[in-house]
Amino acid sequence: MSSKLNAKIPGGPMDTKWSRYRSTVPLVNPANKRGLEIIVVGSGLAGAAAAASLAEMGYKVKCFCFQDSPRRAHSIAAQGGINAAKNYQNDGDSVFRLFYDTIKGGDYRAREGNVHRLAEVSRNIIDQCVAQGVPFAREYGGLLDNRSFGGTQVQRTFYAAGQTGQQLLLGAYSALQRQVGKGTVKMYSRHEMLELVMIDGKCRGIIARDLISGKLERHFGHAVLLCTGGYGNVFFLSTNAMGSNVTAAWKAHKNGAYFGNPCFTQIHPTCIPVSGDHQSKLTLMSESLRNDGRIWVPKTKGDTRHPNQIPEDERDYYLERRYPAFGNLVPRDVASRAAKERCDAGFGVGASKMAVYLDYASAIERYGKSKALQLGIHEPSAEQIKSLGKEVVAEKYGNLFEMYEKITGENPYEVPMRIYPAVHYTMGGLWVDYELMTTVPGLYALGEANFSDHGANRLGASALMQGLADGYFVIPYTIGSYLSQEIRTKAIPTDHPAFEEAEKKVQGTLDKFLSIKGEKSVDHYHKALGKIMWDKCGMGRNKEGLTQALAEIKALREEFWQNVRVPGGLNELNPELEKAGRVADFLELGELMCLDALNREESCGGHFREEHQTEEGEAKRNDEQFSFVSAWEFKSVGSWELHKEALDFEIVKPSQRSYK
Amino acid sequence: MNITLKVWRQKNAKEAGNFVTYRLQDISPDMSFLEMFDVLNEQLIGKGDEPVAFDHDCREGICGMCSMMINGRAHGPTRGTTTCQLHMRSFNDGDTIVVEPWRAKAFPVIKDLVVDRTSFDRIIATGGFISVNTGSAQDANCLPVPKDDADKAFAAAACIGCGACVAACKNASAMLFVSAKISQLALLPQGQVERESRALNMVKQMDEEGFGSCTNTGSCEAECPKEISLENIARMNREYFMAILKK
Ligand SMILES: Cc1cc2nc3c(=O)[nH]c(=O)nc-3n(C[C@H](O)[C@H](O)[C@H](O)COP(=O)(O)OP(=O)(O)OC[C@H]3O[C@@H](n4cnc5c(N)ncnc54)[C@H](O)[C@@H]3O)c2cc1C
Ligand code: FES
């Protein structure tokens, strides 16, 4: 293991590591906190929670986001829910179970110490959010309601209709705005971080572009936190917001931060299928829909009958068939591959034949009957059952059904939805230690931007949990370990040569984009990259495809730098220029993802190497050789050195994941 | 479909703007309104012209970033729909569509269809929160909330802060936006302690930002993509007057 890769997991028994760490980590006294400046890049769940909490503690905080308001960070779009080991349903949940499910769900490629901590603090998150006024769903007795999610057998998911991310983010945003009002956080919206500033081996600030005036700005910080989200948009089409990007993390990587497990991406099984070439993004239908919906395809190849015309015994409920214990609730990677398998085998539905059905008919009937009973209707007619059932379903999933109808023009209460897997989340990200610090001193990564807790596959409703855990409950403690050593460091003036140089570098890149004046738009290159990634580094990967992809991406990148056309000027709002910077970074990242996927000669979680599967087509891990985190060190464009962080399992013994 | 677009073009906040006409051919009815703009921009870039700047991010109707006045209606003709969720099947072949930015004194135009809505953030910063520091909360189930109140609070909290209410209102009033937040927190037991200061401070900031007053025309509710109810405005007025009386 390389010396830089010290994960700093505290000693002692698993369930006391975090409490012991908290009681022994050095503190910074209130007077010193006032003199310490922290830059938080990102205002999603991780960033807003961190910025608000650190400001409450007394630090001076600057927070950045590229949208026009911190409330619009991509976290807002999360639908289904957030996990917490509260055991309010008395169904046997516990911190240990959440920990265990997460390690297993991640296919034994996550660190036990981090995950245990995550499970512990999950409970505080719900308390904090409720206190902020987050309107979670409740039962008639006034207590909090839960639903179940994929990969688990307990009900531990808290939700607010299909808008959980929105409500959690607005909670964190309100906490953030409270600090903005107090002057303890200075908010920079419509600002994009484009470079880090390194002084004497430590991260000391950033260069950001004011997206309205186009001016470059220099900002000093004793520490910098990147809470900049995931990089799923490297595939062009994904469920991420249009602006989601890797730029901040990539600049960190090029300044010495190792990139962890870049090839671990999550393909979500339930998204609305692509409808044509004009498609700009894909829309998720929350995983919570698998709770009550049943997934099927016709038993006969190429069956073109209307789904409602296909009788029960001619339908193949393939998840229930293959995985009787978990049925429709198998983890995402398993569900996605099963859908791809059916479609590739010719059983797909819809115009493109690249879709499967997600059917609510039986849920509507089940809920209708139970509602009728509740209302004391003894012999309800089929019509009554259907209409009561629809009411219940509307209450639980109404906004999702509406969204589906808006996009496809079809009514999902009457006709089964058509769904297909789409890129959704990136488990990989900047490598961080237990304290969430990257390999660059003073530089931290939180939320989806880091690689830490989900191994090779994230369980549903666990990203919101992790983002808020990192921001509210982890960084406020762990940052003390570094900042307690920095109390004598005075704010460094931004005319320091390191700032000057970093700004020059950014200026050079921006000038270059505008000077190429080529023939193809930025989107053209983004789409081309996305296609390579989806075809060769998507749901199924193999050596041949990945090797081709490496060459293709290199060639595409070279062409981009010769032939891209970026209109407009520097000193103005210029969305094309913003996109150019992001796509340039994706063109480097894509190569690293393929390299990592090629290197990992095993299948695990979302990473499915076709050469490594069981006879039944399940992922086959190779623990002997690959029980490690890949941490890539940047050398120069297209050249990296691999470092390995070995994973030790003290508690959960790796076995083949079985959801049968 | 063939579509004629009349789009507001404005270089920046200082220069005057004007409508420019563009013709688009072979638009698919399955395209979203913003995808139609992607097609337009791709063509403009191809011709060496500057693409139209517009705000958007999630394209799922939840971030509140997209904001176009379409044929004089905030977010266009379909009820309960954001611009990004509007699809071309809502229009007819041969239609002429007029697209403008939000118009309000408190939302100055930055460029083309992009406006500055930071006034909303400043209003929230004066009271749109419950003052609870991280780590100081009690167990979540210690505080039962009647389901009905929780549901109403949620309905108010569903506001996406897009500003359509302001754009739709002839007075450019922000009452629907502000009242949604005040209602959400007034309906919950957690929000009681700061109830009065919240109403007073948020209303004061709203006025200072230059938003107009409410004359009960109801166009905000009609154009709100999340169908936030006018009831919230009534509740906010109650909250505000109670607070004044107590002052
Ligand atoms: C459609 C959808 C549904 C989901 N549903 C769920 C769910 O039900 N449950 C669940 O647990 N998870 C869900 N997820 C995943 C989850 O929403 C995300 O992983 C999580 O919200 C990420 O939060 P974050 O704070 O890390 O980043 P984000 O919310 O992505 O925030 C990133 C922030 O960084 C800023 N930023 C980025 N780059 C720069 C830069 N260079 N300069 C300045 N600012 C920058 C952005 O402006 C933004 O403020 C869902 C994801 C999607 C796409
Ligand atoms: S782009 Fe997010 S609401 Fe329209």
CATH number, domain with residue B198: 1.10.1060.10
Q: Are A276 and A370 within one domain?
A: yes
Q: How many folded domains does chain A comprise?
A: 2
pLDDT band of A477, cuts 50, 70, 90: very high
* Coil/strand/helix, residue B133: coil
How does DSSP classify residue B72? T
A371 and A310 in contact (C-beta within 8 Å)?
A: no
Q: Is B148 on the interface with A (CB under 8 A)?
A: no
Q: Are B178 and B192 within one domain?
A: yes
A335 lies in some domain: yes
A361 lies in some domain: yes
Nearest one of A48, A183, A64, A166 to B180, comparing CA atoms = A166
Q: Are B127 and B97 within one domain?
A: no
Please tell me the predicted confidence (pLDDT) of residue A415: 96
A226 lies in some domain: no
Task: For residues A177-204, give the mean pLDDT.
Answer: 98
Q: Is B35 on the interface with A (CB under 8 A)?
A: yes
Q: Verify whether residue A332 is a known catalytic residue.
A: yes
Distance A571 CA to ligand 1 centre (A): 28
pLDDT digits (tens, 9 = 90+) for A298-322: 999 999 999 999 999 999 999 999 9
Q: Are B133 and B90 within one domain?
A: no
pLDDT band of A660, cuts 50, 70, 90: confident
pLDDT band of A3, cuts 50, 70, 90: low
A207 lies in some domain: no
Q: Are A505 and A404 within one domain?
A: no
Size of interface A-B (CB pairs under 8 A): 216
Q: Are B95 and B29 within one domain?
A: yes
Q: Are B207 and B102 within one domain?
A: no
**B147 is in which domain, residue-wise?**
117-246
Which ranges of chain B would DSSP assign to H, the alpha helix? 33-47, 118-125, 147-157, 164-168, 175-187, 195-208, 219-223, 231-246
Does the beta carbon of B68 sit less than 6 angstroms from any atom of ligand 2?
no
pLDDT digits (tens, 9 = 90+) for B88-128: 999 999 999 999 999 999 999 999 999 999 999 999 999 99
Distance A553 CA to ligand 1 centre (A): 26
DSSP secondary structure letters along A221-238: -SEEEE-----GGGGSSS
Residue where a domain stops, chosen among B57, B89, B111: B111
**A558 is in which domain, residue-wise?**
497-626
Task: For residues B11-32, give the mean pLDDT.
Answer: 96
| Interface contact B137-A124, CB threshold 8 A | yes
Interior/surface letters A315-339, b for 16+ CB within 10 angstroms, e for the rest: bbbbbeebbeebbbbbbbbbbbbbb
The CATH number of the domain holding residue A511 is 1.20.58.100
Q: Which of the residue ranges A398-402, B187-191, B201-205, B223-227 would you say has the lowest mean pLDDT?
A: A398-402
Q: Are B132 and B156 within one domain?
A: yes
Burial class for A581, CB neighbours closer than 10 Å (0-12, 13-18, 19+): buried
| Interface contact B125-A142, CB threshold 8 A | no
Interior/surface letters B208-224, b for 16+ CB within 10 angstroms, e for the rest: ebebbebeeeebbbebb
Q: Are B156 and B89 within one domain?
A: no
Residue where a domain stops, chosen among B78, B111, B144: B111
| Interface contact B121-A69, CB threshold 8 A | yes
Category of B5 on φ-ψ map: left (φ > 0), alpha (ψ -120 to 50) or beta: beta
Q: How many folded domains does chain B comprise?
A: 2
Residue where a domain stops, chosen among B111, B141, B176: B111
Measured at the CA of A411, the angle between CA A409 and CA A415, to 5 degrees, comes to 120
Q: Is the pLDDT of residue B46 over 70?
A: yes
Q: Rounded mean pLDDT of chain B? A: 97
| Residue A21: its H or E element | helix A17-24
Residue where a domain stops, chosen among A422, A441, A473: A422
CB < 8 Å to A157, chain B: none
Does the beta carbon of B82 sit less than 6 angstroms from any atom of ligand 2?
yes
Q: Is the pLDDT of residue A659 over 90?
A: no
A165 lies in some domain: no
A260 and A633 in contact (C-beta within 8 Å)?
A: no
Closest residue by Cα to atom 3, ligand 1, is A78
Q: Are B106 and B138 within one domain?
A: no
Q: Which of the residue ranges A242-251, A402-411, B56-65 would you say has the lowest mean pLDDT?
A: A402-411
Q: Are B164 and B104 within one domain?
A: no
pLDDT digits (tens, 9 = 90+) for B153-201: 999 999 999 999 999 999 999 999 999 999 999 999 999 999 999 999 9
CB < 8 Å to B67, chain A: none
The CATH number of the domain holding residue A410 is 3.90.700.10
CB < 8 Å to B44, chain A: 567
Q: Identify the residues whose C-beta falls under 6 Å from ligand 1.
A: A 41-47, 64-67, 73-75, 77-82, 164-165, 191-193, 227-230, 239-240, 244-245, 247-248, 284, 286, 424-425, 447-449, 461-464, 467
Q: Are A273 and A414 within one domain?
A: yes
Q: Are A393 and A521 within one domain?
A: no
Residue where a domain stops, chosen among A391, A422, A453: A422
Q: Are A504 and A415 within one domain?
A: no
A463 lies in some domain: no
A597 and A545 in contact (C-beta within 8 Å)?
A: no
* Strand A202-210 relative to strand A157-158, pairing: unpaired
pTM of the model: 0.97
Tell me which of B66, B70, B86, B102 to substitute to probe ligand 2's pocket, judged by most ligand atoms within 8 Å of the beta carbon: B66
Count, in order, helices (H) and strands (E) of chain B: 8, 7
Q: Is the pLDDT of residue B19 over 70?
A: yes
Q: Rounded mean pLDDT of chain A? A: 96
Closest CA–CA distance from residue B91 to any residue of chain A (Å): 14
Q: Are B84 and B122 within one domain?
A: no
Q: Are A273 and A418 within one domain?
A: yes
Residue where a domain stops, chosen among A422, A453, A487: A422
Please tell me the predicted confidence (pLDDT) of residue A616: 85
Q: Are A399 and A281 within one domain?
A: yes
Catalytic-labelled residue, pool A294, A315, A332, A337? A332
A557 lies in some domain: yes
CB < 8 Å to A172, chain B: none
Q: Are B143 and B107 within one domain?
A: no
Cβ within 8 Å of A, B 186-225: 188, 190-191
Q: Are A278 and A417 within one domain?
A: yes
pLDDT band of A1, cuts 50, 70, 90: very low
Q: Are B134 and B226 within one domain?
A: yes
Task: For residues A12-39, give the mean pLDDT.
Answer: 97
Residue B64 CA: nearest ligand 2 atom is 3
Q: Which residue has the higher pLDDT, B132 or A619?
A: B132
Q: What does the block give as tokens for B59?
A: 């394209």
pLDDT digits (tens, 9 = 90+) for A263-296: 999 999 999 999 888 999 999 998 889 989 999 9
Closest CA–CA distance from residue B142 to any residue of chain A (Å): 9
